[in-house]
Structure 1
Amino acid sequence: MTFSTKNSLTTLLQTFIMGSIDAYTFQNFDGSFVSAQTGNLVVFAYELASKGWHTAYIRVPVLIGFLLGAFISQACKHLKLSTDRRFSIFLLLSVIFLGLFYGSMFTSINELNMLFTLGLFSGYELTVFNKIGGTSVNNAIMTGNLKNFSNNVYEALFSRDHAALIKAGQFLSGICMFILGILFSTYALKANGTNVFLCALVINIILLIIVTIIKEKKPQQD
Protein backbone atom coordinates (compact mmCIF):
# COMPACT_ATOMS: atom_id res chain seq x y z
CA MET A 1 0.00 0.00 0.00
CA THR A 2 1.55 3.32 -1.08
CA PHE A 3 1.55 6.35 1.19
CA SER A 4 -0.86 8.09 -1.18
CA THR A 5 -3.31 5.19 -0.85
CA LYS A 6 -3.04 5.18 2.95
CA ASN A 7 -3.55 8.92 3.02
CA SER A 8 -6.58 8.75 0.73
CA LEU A 9 -8.23 5.93 2.71
CA THR A 10 -7.61 7.74 5.98
CA THR A 11 -9.00 11.06 4.71
CA LEU A 12 -12.14 9.37 3.38
CA LEU A 13 -12.78 7.58 6.67
CA GLN A 14 -12.10 10.73 8.72
CA THR A 15 -14.60 12.52 6.48
CA PHE A 16 -17.18 9.85 7.32
CA ILE A 17 -16.37 10.25 11.03
CA MET A 18 -16.62 14.04 10.95
CA GLY A 19 -20.03 13.82 9.28
CA SER A 20 -21.23 11.46 12.01
CA ILE A 21 -19.91 13.73 14.79
CA ASP A 22 -21.49 16.82 13.23
CA ALA A 23 -24.85 15.02 13.22
CA TYR A 24 -24.34 14.24 16.93
CA THR A 25 -23.48 17.81 17.93
CA PHE A 26 -26.23 19.28 15.78
CA GLN A 27 -28.82 17.12 17.52
CA ASN A 28 -27.48 17.36 21.07
CA PHE A 29 -25.88 20.83 21.34
CA ASP A 30 -28.55 23.23 20.08
CA GLY A 31 -27.60 23.05 16.42
CA SER A 32 -23.84 23.43 16.94
CA PHE A 33 -21.30 22.00 14.52
CA VAL A 34 -17.72 20.99 15.26
CA SER A 35 -16.41 21.36 11.72
CA ALA A 36 -18.64 23.87 9.88
CA GLN A 37 -17.40 27.04 11.54
CA THR A 38 -19.23 29.19 8.98
CA GLY A 39 -22.49 27.81 10.34
CA ASN A 40 -21.36 28.41 13.92
CA LEU A 41 -20.42 32.01 13.12
CA VAL A 42 -23.77 32.67 11.43
CA VAL A 43 -25.72 31.23 14.36
CA PHE A 44 -23.50 33.03 16.89
CA ALA A 45 -23.98 36.42 15.24
CA TYR A 46 -27.72 35.84 14.76
CA GLU A 47 -28.25 34.77 18.35
CA LEU A 48 -26.07 37.59 19.67
CA ALA A 49 -28.19 40.15 17.82
CA SER A 50 -31.59 38.58 18.48
CA LYS A 51 -31.26 36.81 21.83
CA GLY A 52 -28.17 38.26 23.49
CA TRP A 53 -24.85 36.96 24.80
CA HIS A 54 -26.47 34.63 27.35
CA THR A 55 -27.68 32.48 24.43
CA ALA A 56 -24.95 33.08 21.84
CA TYR A 57 -21.98 32.27 24.10
CA ILE A 58 -22.43 28.51 23.63
CA ARG A 59 -20.99 28.87 20.09
CA VAL A 60 -17.71 30.36 21.34
CA PRO A 61 -15.91 27.33 22.87
CA VAL A 62 -16.08 25.25 19.70
CA LEU A 63 -14.71 28.17 17.66
CA ILE A 64 -11.80 28.67 20.05
CA GLY A 65 -11.15 24.93 20.18
CA PHE A 66 -11.14 24.70 16.40
CA LEU A 67 -8.62 27.53 16.02
CA LEU A 68 -6.36 26.06 18.69
CA GLY A 69 -6.57 22.56 17.19
CA ALA A 70 -5.62 23.82 13.73
CA PHE A 71 -2.75 25.90 15.19
CA ILE A 72 -1.26 23.06 17.24
CA SER A 73 -1.59 20.43 14.52
CA GLN A 74 0.04 22.71 11.96
CA ALA A 75 3.01 22.96 14.34
CA CYS A 76 3.04 19.16 14.69
CA LYS A 77 3.35 18.81 10.90
CA HIS A 78 6.82 20.35 11.22
CA LEU A 79 8.09 17.59 13.51
CA LYS A 80 11.30 16.11 12.13
CA LEU A 81 10.04 12.58 11.62
CA SER A 82 9.72 10.35 8.59
CA THR A 83 6.50 10.82 6.66
CA ASP A 84 5.17 7.35 7.53
CA ARG A 85 6.03 7.64 11.23
CA ARG A 86 4.45 11.08 11.50
CA PHE A 87 1.33 9.82 9.72
CA SER A 88 1.00 6.87 12.13
CA ILE A 89 1.43 9.18 15.13
CA PHE A 90 -1.29 11.50 13.79
CA LEU A 91 -3.65 8.55 13.39
CA LEU A 92 -2.79 7.24 16.86
CA LEU A 93 -3.58 10.66 18.35
CA SER A 94 -6.95 10.55 16.59
CA VAL A 95 -7.62 7.15 18.21
CA ILE A 96 -6.69 8.58 21.63
CA PHE A 97 -8.97 11.58 21.10
CA LEU A 98 -11.90 9.36 20.17
CA GLY A 99 -11.22 7.02 23.09
CA LEU A 100 -11.40 9.99 25.47
CA PHE A 101 -14.63 11.18 23.85
CA TYR A 102 -16.14 7.71 24.23
CA GLY A 103 -15.07 7.61 27.88
CA SER A 104 -16.57 11.05 28.48
CA MET A 105 -19.99 9.66 27.60
CA PHE A 106 -19.95 7.86 30.96
CA THR A 107 -19.10 11.00 32.93
CA SER A 108 -20.86 14.29 33.58
CA ILE A 109 -18.62 16.39 31.35
CA ASN A 110 -19.62 20.03 31.01
CA GLU A 111 -21.32 20.93 27.72
CA LEU A 112 -18.94 23.82 27.00
CA ASN A 113 -15.87 21.67 27.72
CA MET A 114 -17.20 19.00 25.37
CA LEU A 115 -17.75 21.51 22.57
CA PHE A 116 -14.29 23.04 23.09
CA THR A 117 -12.60 19.62 22.93
CA LEU A 118 -14.61 18.56 19.89
CA GLY A 119 -13.64 21.82 18.19
CA LEU A 120 -10.00 21.07 19.02
CA PHE A 121 -10.37 17.60 17.50
CA SER A 122 -12.03 19.02 14.38
CA GLY A 123 -9.26 21.57 13.81
CA TYR A 124 -6.73 18.77 14.23
CA GLU A 125 -8.50 16.42 11.81
CA LEU A 126 -8.93 19.06 9.12
CA THR A 127 -5.26 19.98 9.28
CA VAL A 128 -3.56 16.58 9.22
CA PHE A 129 -5.90 14.42 7.10
CA ASN A 130 -6.68 16.32 3.92
CA LYS A 131 -5.45 14.43 0.86
CA ILE A 132 -7.28 12.15 -1.56
CA GLY A 133 -4.74 11.10 -4.13
CA GLY A 134 -2.77 14.23 -4.89
CA THR A 135 -5.72 16.52 -4.25
CA SER A 136 -6.21 18.61 -1.11
CA VAL A 137 -9.74 17.85 0.08
CA ASN A 138 -11.37 19.23 3.21
CA ASN A 139 -12.60 16.33 5.31
CA ALA A 140 -15.40 18.20 7.04
CA ILE A 141 -16.21 21.61 5.51
CA MET A 142 -18.01 20.87 2.27
CA THR A 143 -18.43 24.39 0.84
CA GLY A 144 -14.96 24.44 -0.70
CA ASN A 145 -15.27 20.83 -1.84
CA LEU A 146 -18.54 21.56 -3.65
CA LYS A 147 -17.06 24.62 -5.35
CA ASN A 148 -13.92 22.76 -6.41
CA PHE A 149 -15.98 19.80 -7.62
CA SER A 150 -18.08 22.07 -9.83
CA ASN A 151 -15.00 23.95 -11.13
CA ASN A 152 -13.27 20.71 -12.09
CA VAL A 153 -16.38 19.28 -13.73
CA TYR A 154 -16.46 22.34 -15.98
CA GLU A 155 -12.78 21.93 -16.92
CA ALA A 156 -13.29 18.22 -17.56
CA LEU A 157 -16.30 18.81 -19.82
CA PHE A 158 -15.29 21.89 -21.76
CA SER A 159 -11.47 21.84 -21.62
CA ARG A 160 -11.30 18.05 -21.95
CA ASP A 161 -8.97 18.02 -18.97
CA HIS A 162 -8.54 14.43 -17.77
CA ALA A 163 -6.73 15.52 -14.59
CA ALA A 164 -9.68 17.76 -13.72
CA LEU A 165 -12.03 14.79 -14.13
CA ILE A 166 -9.97 12.80 -11.64
CA LYS A 167 -9.97 15.70 -9.19
CA ALA A 168 -13.73 16.10 -9.56
CA GLY A 169 -14.12 12.42 -8.64
CA GLN A 170 -11.89 12.87 -5.60
CA PHE A 171 -13.87 15.85 -4.37
CA LEU A 172 -17.12 13.98 -4.99
CA SER A 173 -15.89 10.97 -3.01
CA GLY A 174 -15.22 13.22 -0.01
CA ILE A 175 -18.63 14.88 -0.28
CA CYS A 176 -20.38 11.50 -0.47
CA MET A 177 -18.46 10.12 2.53
CA PHE A 178 -19.45 13.14 4.62
CA ILE A 179 -23.12 12.68 3.70
CA LEU A 180 -22.90 8.94 4.43
CA GLY A 181 -21.43 9.74 7.84
CA ILE A 182 -24.36 12.03 8.64
CA LEU A 183 -26.93 9.50 7.41
CA PHE A 184 -25.32 6.60 9.28
CA SER A 185 -25.04 8.62 12.48
CA THR A 186 -28.64 9.81 12.27
CA TYR A 187 -30.41 6.63 11.22
CA ALA A 188 -28.23 3.78 12.50
CA LEU A 189 -26.65 5.37 15.57
CA LYS A 190 -29.51 7.77 16.41
CA ALA A 191 -26.84 10.52 16.71
CA ASN A 192 -26.14 9.16 20.18
CA GLY A 193 -22.68 10.11 21.45
CA THR A 194 -21.89 6.71 22.95
CA ASN A 195 -22.63 4.98 19.65
CA VAL A 196 -21.02 7.66 17.45
CA PHE A 197 -17.71 7.77 19.30
CA LEU A 198 -17.50 3.99 19.73
CA CYS A 199 -18.06 3.48 16.00
CA ALA A 200 -15.49 6.17 15.12
CA LEU A 201 -13.01 4.65 17.57
CA VAL A 202 -13.37 1.18 16.06
CA ILE A 203 -12.95 2.55 12.53
CA ASN A 204 -9.72 4.32 13.41
CA ILE A 205 -8.29 1.41 15.41
CA ILE A 206 -8.83 -0.89 12.42
CA LEU A 207 -7.38 1.76 10.12
CA LEU A 208 -4.31 2.19 12.35
CA ILE A 209 -3.74 -1.57 12.30
CA ILE A 210 -4.03 -1.64 8.51
CA VAL A 211 -1.61 1.22 7.84
CA THR A 212 0.85 -0.16 10.41
CA ILE A 213 0.87 -3.77 9.23
CA ILE A 214 0.70 -3.17 5.48
CA LYS A 215 4.03 -1.62 4.59
CA GLU A 216 4.64 0.45 1.50
CA LYS A 217 5.53 -1.77 -1.41
CA LYS A 218 8.97 -1.15 -2.84
CA PRO A 219 9.65 -1.65 -6.55
CA GLN A 220 11.34 -4.95 -7.34
CA GLN A 221 14.82 -4.89 -8.83
CA ASP A 222 15.69 -7.01 -11.82
Structure 2
Amino acid sequence: MKDKIPSLSSNSFYLGILLAVVGGFLDAYTFISRDGVFANAQTGNMVLLAVKAANRDWHGSLLYIPPILAFILGVLVSEMAKIPRVRQVLHSYRRSILILECLVLIIVGLLPQSVPNIVVTVCIAFVSSVQISTFNKIDKWAYNSTMTTGNLRTATQAAYLALKEDNDEAKKQFKEFFVIILSFLFGALTGTFSTTYIGNTSIWIASGILVIALILYHRDRGYISKYLTLR
Protein backbone atom coordinates (compact mmCIF):
# COMPACT_ATOMS: atom_id res chain seq x y z
CA MET A 1 0.00 0.00 0.00
CA LYS A 2 1.32 3.42 -0.92
CA ASP A 3 0.41 6.53 1.04
CA LYS A 4 1.14 9.98 -0.30
CA ILE A 5 2.93 11.82 2.48
CA PRO A 6 3.41 15.55 1.87
CA SER A 7 6.56 17.32 2.97
CA LEU A 8 7.39 20.98 2.59
CA SER A 9 10.81 21.37 1.03
CA SER A 10 13.28 22.86 3.48
CA ASN A 11 14.33 25.40 0.84
CA SER A 12 10.93 27.14 0.71
CA PHE A 13 11.59 30.89 0.45
CA TYR A 14 8.39 31.87 2.23
CA LEU A 15 9.06 29.46 5.06
CA GLY A 16 12.56 30.93 5.30
CA ILE A 17 11.08 34.41 5.78
CA LEU A 18 8.89 33.25 8.67
CA LEU A 19 11.72 31.37 10.35
CA ALA A 20 14.02 34.39 10.04
CA VAL A 21 11.36 36.52 11.76
CA VAL A 22 11.26 33.94 14.56
CA GLY A 23 15.05 33.95 14.79
CA GLY A 24 15.24 37.71 15.18
CA PHE A 25 12.36 37.68 17.66
CA LEU A 26 14.04 35.10 19.91
CA ASP A 27 17.32 37.01 20.02
CA ALA A 28 15.54 40.22 21.04
CA TYR A 29 13.39 38.32 23.54
CA THR A 30 16.29 36.81 25.45
CA PHE A 31 18.34 40.01 25.28
CA ILE A 32 15.56 42.11 26.83
CA SER A 33 13.92 39.67 29.22
CA ARG A 34 17.02 37.75 30.28
CA ASP A 35 19.68 40.36 31.08
CA GLY A 36 21.31 40.88 27.71
CA VAL A 37 21.76 37.23 26.75
CA PHE A 38 21.77 36.07 23.13
CA ALA A 39 20.63 32.44 23.07
CA ASN A 40 20.70 31.73 19.33
CA ALA A 41 24.41 31.96 18.57
CA GLN A 42 26.87 29.86 20.55
CA THR A 43 29.98 31.78 19.45
CA GLY A 44 29.40 34.31 22.22
CA ASN A 45 28.93 31.54 24.77
CA MET A 46 32.21 29.94 23.71
CA VAL A 47 34.05 33.26 24.05
CA LEU A 48 32.50 34.07 27.43
CA LEU A 49 33.26 30.57 28.69
CA ALA A 50 36.90 31.06 27.73
CA VAL A 51 37.03 34.55 29.30
CA LYS A 52 35.54 33.30 32.58
CA ALA A 53 37.87 30.30 32.62
CA ALA A 54 40.90 32.50 31.92
CA ASN A 55 39.92 34.63 34.92
CA ARG A 56 39.49 31.47 37.02
CA ASP A 57 35.80 32.14 37.46
CA TRP A 58 34.95 28.46 37.25
CA HIS A 59 31.37 28.83 38.42
CA GLY A 60 30.75 31.59 35.90
CA SER A 61 32.29 29.59 33.07
CA LEU A 62 30.10 26.56 33.83
CA LEU A 63 26.96 28.64 33.26
CA TYR A 64 27.78 28.85 29.54
CA ILE A 65 28.03 25.09 29.08
CA PRO A 66 24.29 24.16 29.28
CA PRO A 67 23.24 26.33 26.28
CA ILE A 68 26.06 24.83 24.23
CA LEU A 69 24.97 21.31 25.18
CA ALA A 70 21.34 22.21 24.40
CA PHE A 71 22.44 23.40 20.97
CA ILE A 72 24.28 20.12 20.37
CA LEU A 73 21.20 18.20 21.53
CA GLY A 74 19.06 20.12 19.05
CA VAL A 75 21.34 19.13 16.18
CA LEU A 76 21.19 15.48 17.26
CA VAL A 77 17.38 15.56 17.53
CA SER A 78 17.13 17.05 14.04
CA GLU A 79 19.46 14.42 12.58
CA MET A 80 17.71 11.55 14.35
CA ALA A 81 14.38 12.76 12.97
CA LYS A 82 15.77 12.18 9.46
CA ILE A 83 16.41 8.47 10.06
CA PRO A 84 14.09 6.50 7.69
CA ARG A 85 12.38 4.51 10.45
CA VAL A 86 11.77 7.63 12.51
CA ARG A 87 10.47 9.46 9.44
CA GLN A 88 7.98 6.66 8.86
CA VAL A 89 6.61 7.19 12.36
CA LEU A 90 6.57 11.00 12.11
CA HIS A 91 5.35 10.98 8.47
CA SER A 92 6.93 14.43 8.11
CA TYR A 93 9.91 15.23 10.29
CA ARG A 94 9.91 18.91 9.30
CA ARG A 95 6.35 19.33 10.48
CA SER A 96 7.26 17.52 13.70
CA ILE A 97 10.19 19.87 14.26
CA LEU A 98 7.94 22.91 13.82
CA ILE A 99 5.44 21.46 16.30
CA LEU A 100 8.27 20.77 18.76
CA GLU A 101 9.46 24.36 18.46
CA CYS A 102 5.94 25.66 19.10
CA LEU A 103 5.55 23.53 22.22
CA VAL A 104 8.89 24.56 23.71
CA LEU A 105 8.18 28.27 23.15
CA ILE A 106 4.71 27.94 24.68
CA ILE A 107 6.28 26.38 27.78
CA VAL A 108 8.89 29.17 27.95
CA GLY A 109 6.09 31.74 27.90
CA LEU A 110 4.53 30.05 30.93
CA LEU A 111 7.70 30.35 32.99
CA PRO A 112 7.72 33.20 35.55
CA GLN A 113 10.41 35.88 35.55
CA SER A 114 11.82 34.30 38.72
CA VAL A 115 12.97 31.25 36.75
CA PRO A 116 16.76 31.38 36.30
CA ASN A 117 17.94 32.81 32.99
CA ILE A 118 19.82 29.62 32.20
CA VAL A 119 16.56 27.64 31.93
CA VAL A 120 15.17 29.98 29.28
CA THR A 121 18.41 30.29 27.33
CA VAL A 122 18.80 26.50 27.26
CA CYS A 123 15.27 26.09 25.86
CA ILE A 124 15.76 28.75 23.19
CA ALA A 125 19.22 27.46 22.27
CA PHE A 126 17.58 24.07 21.66
CA VAL A 127 14.82 25.62 19.52
CA SER A 128 17.38 27.59 17.52
CA SER A 129 19.45 24.47 16.95
CA VAL A 130 16.65 22.22 15.69
CA GLN A 131 15.42 25.03 13.45
CA ILE A 132 18.70 25.79 11.70
CA SER A 133 19.58 22.09 11.45
CA THR A 134 16.27 21.23 9.79
CA PHE A 135 15.67 24.31 7.64
CA ASN A 136 19.06 25.39 6.33
CA LYS A 137 18.59 26.23 2.64
CA ILE A 138 16.76 28.72 0.46
CA ASP A 139 16.44 27.29 -3.03
CA LYS A 140 19.90 25.73 -3.39
CA TRP A 141 21.76 28.16 -1.13
CA ALA A 142 22.71 27.57 2.49
CA TYR A 143 21.34 30.13 4.92
CA ASN A 144 20.76 30.60 8.64
CA SER A 145 17.39 31.64 10.06
CA THR A 146 18.61 32.48 13.58
CA MET A 147 21.87 34.32 12.85
CA THR A 148 22.45 36.91 10.17
CA THR A 149 26.24 37.21 9.74
CA GLY A 150 26.53 34.47 7.11
CA ASN A 151 23.42 35.74 5.32
CA LEU A 152 24.92 39.22 5.13
CA ARG A 153 28.13 37.83 3.65
CA THR A 154 26.19 35.80 1.07
CA ALA A 155 24.02 38.78 0.11
CA THR A 156 27.07 41.00 -0.31
CA GLN A 157 28.87 38.45 -2.49
CA ALA A 158 25.75 38.00 -4.61
CA ALA A 159 25.36 41.76 -5.01
CA TYR A 160 28.97 42.03 -6.17
CA LEU A 161 28.51 39.28 -8.78
CA ALA A 162 25.21 40.78 -9.92
CA LEU A 163 26.82 44.16 -10.52
CA LYS A 164 30.09 42.88 -11.95
CA GLU A 165 28.80 40.14 -14.25
CA ASP A 166 25.10 41.01 -14.61
CA ASN A 167 24.42 37.50 -13.33
CA ASP A 168 20.69 36.71 -13.10
CA GLU A 169 21.17 33.94 -10.55
CA ALA A 170 23.24 36.26 -8.37
CA LYS A 171 20.50 38.89 -8.60
CA LYS A 172 17.93 36.38 -7.41
CA GLN A 173 20.21 35.22 -4.61
CA PHE A 174 20.80 38.80 -3.45
CA LYS A 175 17.08 39.61 -3.45
CA GLU A 176 16.17 36.53 -1.45
CA PHE A 177 18.92 36.94 1.12
CA PHE A 178 18.20 40.66 1.43
CA VAL A 179 14.59 39.80 2.27
CA ILE A 180 15.75 37.21 4.81
CA ILE A 181 17.98 39.79 6.50
CA LEU A 182 15.12 42.30 6.61
CA SER A 183 12.86 39.58 8.02
CA PHE A 184 15.35 38.89 10.80
CA LEU A 185 15.50 42.63 11.53
CA PHE A 186 11.71 42.84 11.56
CA GLY A 187 11.58 39.91 13.98
CA ALA A 188 14.09 41.61 16.27
CA LEU A 189 12.07 44.85 16.22
CA THR A 190 8.84 42.98 16.92
CA GLY A 191 10.49 41.04 19.71
CA THR A 192 11.87 44.23 21.24
CA PHE A 193 8.56 46.08 21.38
CA SER A 194 6.42 43.09 22.37
CA THR A 195 8.80 41.91 25.11
CA THR A 196 9.11 45.44 26.50
CA TYR A 197 5.37 46.03 26.71
CA ILE A 198 3.94 42.53 27.11
CA GLY A 199 6.66 40.67 28.98
CA ASN A 200 7.57 36.99 29.04
CA THR A 201 4.39 35.79 27.35
CA SER A 202 5.30 37.78 24.23
CA ILE A 203 7.23 34.72 23.10
CA TRP A 204 3.86 33.22 22.19
CA ILE A 205 3.95 35.60 19.21
CA ALA A 206 6.89 33.55 17.91
CA SER A 207 4.83 30.41 18.50
CA GLY A 208 2.04 31.95 16.44
CA ILE A 209 4.42 32.62 13.58
CA LEU A 210 5.48 28.97 13.68
CA VAL A 211 1.82 27.96 13.52
CA ILE A 212 1.54 30.02 10.33
CA ALA A 213 4.60 28.14 9.06
CA LEU A 214 2.80 24.87 9.81
CA ILE A 215 -0.19 26.03 7.79
CA LEU A 216 2.08 26.95 4.88
CA TYR A 217 3.58 23.51 5.23
CA HIS A 218 0.40 22.20 3.65
CA ARG A 219 -0.41 25.07 1.30
CA ASP A 220 2.92 26.34 -0.02
CA ARG A 221 3.78 25.58 -3.64
CA GLY A 222 7.09 24.22 -2.41
CA TYR A 223 5.24 20.96 -1.68
CA ILE A 224 6.95 17.86 -2.84
CA SER A 225 5.26 14.47 -3.03
CA LYS A 226 6.80 11.54 -1.31
CA TYR A 227 5.66 7.97 -1.39
CA LEU A 228 6.42 5.54 1.39
CA THR A 229 5.69 1.87 1.08
CA LEU A 230 3.88 0.71 4.20
CA ARG A 231 4.06 -2.96 4.91
Instruction: Verify same fold: TM over 0.5.
Output: yes
RMSD: 2.9
Matched, 1:115 2:121: yes
2:47 corresponds, among 26, 42, 47, to 42
Matched, 1:13 2:18: yes
Match of 1:145 in 2: 151
Residues 1-222 of structure 1 correspond to what in structure 2 (within 5 A)?
A: 3=8, 7-50=12-55, 52-79=57-84, 81=87, 85-103=92-110, 105-106=111-112, 109-190=115-196, 192-195=199-202, 197-212=203-218, 216=223
Contact 1:148 1:171 in 2 (8 A): yes
Q: Which runs of 5+ in 2 are unaligned?
A: 1-6, 226-231
Alpha-carbon distance in structure 1 between the residues aligned to 2:214 and 2:152: 29
Alpha-carbon distance in structure 2 between the residues aligned to 1:130 and 1:136: 6
**Identity, % of aligned positions:** 27
Alpha-carbon distance in structure 1 between the residues aligned to 2:224 and 2:124: 36
Higher helix content, 1 or 2 = 1
Higher strand content, 1 or 2 = 2
1:108 to partner: Cα distance? 5.6
**TM-score, with structure 1 as normaliser:** 0.82
Shift in CA distance, 24/3, structure 1 to aligned 2, threshold 3 Å: closer
Alpha-carbon distance in structure 2 between the residues aligned to 1:61 and 1:147: 29
Moved more, 168-177 or 204-213: 204-213
Moved more, 32-41 or 82-91: 82-91
Q: What is the CA deviation profile of residues 22-54 of structure 1, one whole-angstrom value per residue up to 9, with x for unaligned ones?
A: 112122333322212222222332333347223
Shift in CA distance, 48/66, structure 1 to aligned 2, threshold 3 Å: same
1:147 to partner: Cα distance? 1.2
Contact 2:11 2:135 in 1 (8 A): no
Alpha-carbon distance in structure 2 between the residues aligned to 1:111 and 1:87: 29
Contact 1:61 1:119 in 2 (8 A): no
Contact 2:8 2:218 in 1 (8 A): no
**Aligned length in residues:** 215
Q: What is the CA deviation profile of residues 172-199 of structure 1, one whole-angstrom value per residue up to 9, with x for unaligned ones?
A: 111111111111111243183211x210
Alpha-carbon distance in structure 2 between the residues aligned to 1:207 and 1:28: 25
**TM-score, with structure 2 as normaliser:** 0.79
1:109 to partner: Cα distance? 4.1
SS in 2 for 1:48: helix
* Amino acid in the other structure paired with 2:204: L
Highest RCO, 1 vs 2 (Cα 8 Å, sep ≥ 6): 2
* Amino acid in the other structure paired with 2:160: Y
